[in-house]
Amino acid sequence: MVSTQFVGAVQDGAVIGSGVPAATPATGSEAAFDAMLAELAVRRTEFREQRFVPKDFVTTLKAAGIYRSATPARFGGAPQPPAEFLDRIERISAVDGSTGWVASFGSALVYLAALPLETQARLYADGPDVAFAGALFPPQSGEPTPTGYRLDGRWRFASGCTGADVLGVGMPGDDDSGGKPRTAVLRPDQVEIVPEWDVVGMRGTGSFDLVVRGVEVPREWTFVRGGTPTVDEPLYRYPTIAYAAQVLAVVGAGVARAALDHAVRVGGGYAGVTGAPKLADRAYYRDAVARAEASLRSARAWFHEATGQVWDTVLAGDPATDRQNAELRLASAHLARTASDVVADLIEVSGTAPIATTHPLQDLAGDALVPKQHAFLGPAVFDAAGAVLMGLPATTPGFR
């Protein structure tokens, strides 16, 4: 069992604060962000080998402003426009995909904006830098009690759970939630973390299982995923589920950028054992690198174009349309697929070197695969988006 420690205050079984010290003036500065990237470049192998990003580095991410970027301004946060946050996650992911994946859940506080305002006030009482990790699947029904739900079950894929201040577990939708899934928020000391995570991609995310046994969660500490926010600020009017997909898609983009940078860097120096010319001297290699660059940049351009259009709509006081939501989902799925293809294509033209388990492209290929396989970015998204673009209802639940 991996132990975690929650240092916030507790009252009547509910979370009062994150336990995070008050932010210093440098928190969220570009200097703090650059220092975090420099430390990450040194420690990324450590994270991959131990299979999780440790709590001390989550604290470093907090100092870089990651975990206040989706905290409501009314609670001391510094909510960032989606494009700015997405850019930061992509830059982290270009150094280490696993840490980018964990950092991307700094955006998950947009989910928590659906909690009652009184609950959010208690959540952020000690400061805006709150790290949330959720294990939403498979949804487990809670036994209704007079004041909430009694939970008993096991959930998977709780990325970043070892460094989280609060944890969420998924419950099925009900009449009160309009059929949308519900999430219960718990303290780490109410949860057992089971370190089962033996994967080829994103090995450092610590996407372990969560086990909860007979814990009663007050109703006010549950929220509907994608439900109506109680906070009236622009970020919380941006499509929630689409944003959750976007932050994962840019992790893949960052990984693909790292692969392209590697391909360019080694192209001039690597010569095969057969005596063939250096990679950069081979026409097919130059062609593949150029095509990969064009593919990744094109997918990114559309992705950011859609992001900017929806953000402008939100800032104008209008809700995003179904078509805009569909374009966000589609552009995200396309970017994730393109990123994975870019890494695979670079491996194909890189000779025998990438067959070694220690070759950088092997880790990058595994990391790039994960976003494409995620339920928010998989093949069903293309079908659902196509239906909406043709004026039909989305073909998958929770598309918006």
172-181 pLDDT tens trace: 988 778 778 9
CATH class of the domain defined by 12-123: mainly alpha
Give the model confidence (pLDDT) of 106-161 as tens digits: 999 999 999 999 999 999 999 999 999 999 999 999 999 999 999 999 999 999 99
Domain ranges of the chain: 12-123, 132-224, 238-269+276-389
Give the model confidence (pLDDT) of 332-383 as tens digits: 999 999 999 999 999 999 998 999 999 999 999 999 999 999 999 999 999 9
Superfamily of domain 238-269+276-389: Butyryl-CoA Dehydrogenase, subunit A, domain 3 (1.20.140.10)
Residue 245: closest CA among 334, 165, 182: 334
Give the model confidence (pLDDT) of 89-109 as tens digits: 999 999 999 999 999 999 999
Neighbours of 294 (CB within 10 A): 10
3-18 average pLDDT score: 35
pLDDT score at 398: 84
Residues 6+ apart with CB under 8 A from 42: none
Average model confidence (pLDDT) across the chain: 92
Residues 6+ apart with CB under 8 A from 289: 260, 263, 264, 267, 346, 349
For the CA atoms of the chain, what is the radius of gyration? 21
Is residue 168 a contact partner of residue 151, using CB atoms and an 8 Å limit?
no
Q: Which CATH architecture has domain 132-224?
A: Beta Barrel (2.40)
- pTM, two decimals, is 0.91
pLDDT band at 23 (very low <50, low <70, confident <90, very high): very low
**Distance in angstroms (rounded) separating the CA atoms of residues 336 and 223:** 28
187-205 average pLDDT score: 97
189-212 average pLDDT score: 97
What tokens appear for 105 in the block? 């859940």
